[in-house]
Amino acid sequence: MWPGAVTDKARPNKTGAGEAAGYRLGLSYMFVATLFTSIAGIVLRLVEEADGWQVLFYRSSALVVTLVPFIAWRYGAGAGRAFLAIGRPGLVAAACLAGAFSLFIFALYETTVANVVFTIGLSPLLAALFAWMVLREALAPGTLAAMAASVAGIGLMVGDGLASGTLLGNALALGACVCYSAALVAMRKGRAVDMIPAVCLAGVLATLVSWLAAPDLGVSGRDLGLAATLGVVQLGFQYILVTAAIRHVPAAEVALIGRASLVLAPIWVWLGVGEVPSTLTLVGGAVVFAAITGHGVLALRRSRAALSRSGE
């Protein structure tokens, strides 16, 4: 689910002590990253007065402030070349991610956290469809079945939006999902290079857009701290941990673990602010979660089977 998870550094079939320790470390990185991913809804619900543009500005600028030192540490004097290396795919990915960052924030202002996260959870399947359209990558029958089930689940949540007056939020969440899925495909096209600079550039673009669109940037210290937490922890640390995890854990397994955030995010807002999703949202979300989790399990099995064959 993460832009960092675009290459598969799969562990060998027969691991030594070093590989096994690295795998365990990679798993711990992923579980922490998933926790970071899932806090977006509850943190935004704690914002008191800041509007969407203000939150987007401080969230995006905090992301940039987090990733720039990380990229400088990783590449040293070659940091500038790392940004140039992303090429056209990276620029497309950055633009799409900036759109996803923006639509995600405004979707959370218009509908429940459950509606947003379950809709965006469709992104791996939508990315597979886009990859078939753009990169001519084959669509497995299991992927098509998961897509059909997910569309049914999303349909239930859209119906709930029509009934509850949150249709705009559902539409914004779907837009964020489309943008995020397109970014994943662009990153896959440019997977030969590190795409963390593209994520940083997306933060720069979102910062500029929100700076121009916000009526003003004056917010309380509390709201500033919450928005910065979203940028540093929920986005910045998440991407850093995922890029570390992918060195030791197969990409299919990374994506499967990441889907736990679909369950955790609604739980945090339920426990923290008492936001209870409607019955239709829960049913539709359960269908989406089952579809993408089943798809992830199948992908993981295929990955391990291919790994076993390569080790023979």
- Position 14 scores a pLDDT of 44
Q: What distance in Å separates the CA atoms of residue 179 and residue 83, rounded to the nearest whole number? A: 21
Who's near 190: CB < 8 A, 6+ residues apart?
86, 87, 88, 89, 90, 93, 198
- Position 309 scores a pLDDT of 63
**Alpha carbon 32 to chain centroid, angstroms:** 14
Q: Residues for the chain: how many in total? A: 312
- Position 3 scores a pLDDT of 44
Ranges of residues in the chain with a pLDDT under 70 are 1-19, 158-165, 250-256, 296, 299-300, 302-312
- Position 308 scores a pLDDT of 64
- Position 90 scores a pLDDT of 93
Closest CA to 211 of 118, 308, 98: 98
The one-letter amino acid code at 178 reads V
What letters, b where the CB count within 10 A reaches 16 and e where it falls short, cover 116-143? Answer: bbbbbbbbbbbbbbbbeeeeeeeeeeeb
Q: What distance in Å separates the CA atoms of residue 187 and residue 294, rounded to the nearest whole number? A: 24
Q: What distance in Å separates the CA atoms of residue 203 and residue 258, rounded to the nearest whole number? A: 21
Residues 232 and 62 sit within 8 Å (Cβ to Cβ):
yes
- Position 164 scores a pLDDT of 61
- Position 175 scores a pLDDT of 94
Residues 234 and 69 sit within 8 Å (Cβ to Cβ):
no
Tokens of 85: 């290396």
- Position 161 scores a pLDDT of 61
- Position 276 scores a pLDDT of 81
Q: What distance in Å separates the CA atoms of residue 193 and residue 267, rounded to the nearest whole number? A: 36
Q: What distance in Å separates the CA atoms of residue 154 and residue 119, rounded to the nearest whole number? A: 7
Backbone angles phi, psi at 122, to 5 degrees: -70, -10
Q: What distance in Å separates the CA atoms of residue 40 and residue 132, rounded to the nearest whole number? A: 31
- Position 197 scores a pLDDT of 95
Q: Which residue has the tokens 């955790």?
A: 264
Residues 121 and 259 sit within 8 Å (Cβ to Cβ):
yes
Residues 249 and 30 sit within 8 Å (Cβ to Cβ):
yes
